[in-house]
Amino acid sequence: MRTYLALSAATAVLAAAGATAYATTPDRTEKPLPLAGMRILISNDDSMQAARASNSDGLGLYELRRAMCAAGADVVVMAPWQVQSGKGTAVSNGGVLTAQRRTALPAGYENDCAQAPARGAVYGVCLSEGPCVKDSPSATPADTVKLALRAGLRAKAGWTEAPDLVLTGINSGPNVSASVNDSGTVGAAVAAIDQDVPAIAFSSSGDETNTGFPRVNYRANAEFGARLVAGLRQRDLLTPEFALKVDYPDVSAGQRAGTPVWTRVGDGAVVYHAFEQRGTGDSFDIALGLCPLDGTGEGECAEGRKDADSTWLLDKGRVTIAPVTWDRTYGTPVGARRELKAIERYVEREAPRP
């Protein structure tokens, strides 16, 4: 059983589903901020524009930046110039990339990182020789991370060593089940662990219509994320052996997110691509379909895993965390077993509660 959405609505679904002020020198009577001294690169696949009324083009990135700076981190953002949802791990194999600093930030986010060494600098990356303009083609999510780690952070921020952590997101819509393969948010995190840098990909569910992405969802996810990163850091559990994928449920109607659960990526689909021929010609319209979320899906919509991320997130409203690796070789023995089990135990027993 399948349900078709209007293209704009389904695209939103597929776009894989008040923090305190920043301070670098806390009062002597207070504990140091939990991420003090940590350098974090942030990217996403939704762009750095944050101009759409639906909040689907990068607002989550600014909430993530806000929360990390509030926790004491030094943050630099390098993100796609345009929305790049669904790009997966795609890269540009030629041309010129331009990393252009954004000087006028979205209202309310201007001073979030004002006291940090890098001041939370935000760069949009376009595929263009010369300045990025409104219609400039965009770098892919993986492009932005590779550029940042191999040259951009040194040139733009003066960071001579790799950052301590790469965060991607917060994506407008969940990245669960089959959508994980298409997700630029996850693809950018994979690009980071390819370069031996720990990475976490964050995604937030939309509202009940799946067409809008309320700020409250992003903010709840970001503030949970800052506490999650702090806990992992404190326990020395940030590892480049695999990335973590964090999906946050919809809390925009006042409901509370369920406690974090360790999951696997589901083997079914939540959304899928469909193609409708125009008459008898050579052209096909690209449509996106939504699988039923009540467990009645068939075919590619059927979910066969009891511990699937989609089931725990969409049916039970829990925060889901899953490990993701770059290795696509079937049957490869699992590496970093100690780290994997330690993080699983942390998520299930000690991770922050929403």
pLDDT at 31: 81
Q: What is the pTM of this model?
A: 0.90
User: CB under 8 Å to 138, separation ≥6 — which residues?
Assistant: 47, 80, 81, 82, 83, 84, 125, 126, 127
The three state secondary structure string of the chain is CCEECCHHHHHHHHCCCCCCCCCCCCCCCCCCCCCCCCEEEEECCCCCCCCCCCCCCCHHHHHHHHHHHHCCCEEEEEEECCCCCCCCCCCCCCCCEEEEECCCCCCCCCCCCCCCCCCCCEEEEEECCCCCCCCCCECCHHHHHHHHHHHHHHHHHCCCCCCCEEEEEEEECCCCCCHHHHCHHHHHHHHHHHCCCCEEEEEECCCCCCCCCCHHHHHHHHHHHHHHHHHHHHCCCCCCCCEEEEEECCCCCCCCCEEEEECECCCCCCEEEEEEECCCCCCEEEEEEECCCCCCCCHHHCCCCCCEHHHHHHHCCEEEEEEECCCCCCCCCCCCHHHHHHHHHHHHHHCCCC
296-338: pLDDT as tens digits? 778 889 898 999 999 999 999 999 999 999 998 999 888 899 9
Give phi and psi for 328, each to the nearest 5. Answer: -100, 15
- With tokens 């939103």, the residue in question is 12
pLDDT at 20: 39
CA angle, residues 84, 317, 1, in degrees to nearest 5: 70
pLDDT at 29: 60
- With tokens 């009891």, the residue in question is 306
1-42: pLDDT as tens digits? 333 343 334 444 434 333 434 344 544 567 889 999 999 999
75-84: pLDDT as tens digits? 999 999 999 9
pLDDT at 7: 37
> Across residues 52-65, what is the average pLDDT?
98
pLDDT at 295: 67
pLDDT at 333: 87
259-296: pLDDT as tens digits? 999 999 999 898 888 999 999 999 999 988 888 877 67
What percentage of the chain has pLDDT greater than the value 70?
Answer: 92
Give phi and psi for 221, each to the nearest 5. Answer: -65, -45
Decide if pLDDT at 248 tops 70: yes
Decide if pLDDT at 139 tops 90: yes
- With tokens 């595929």, the residue in question is 127
pLDDT at 210: 81
- With tokens 């201007």, the residue in question is 110
177-222: pLDDT as tens digits? 999 999 999 999 999 999 999 999 999 999 988 889 999 999 999 9
Q: Are 87 and 75 in contact (CB under 8 A)?
A: no
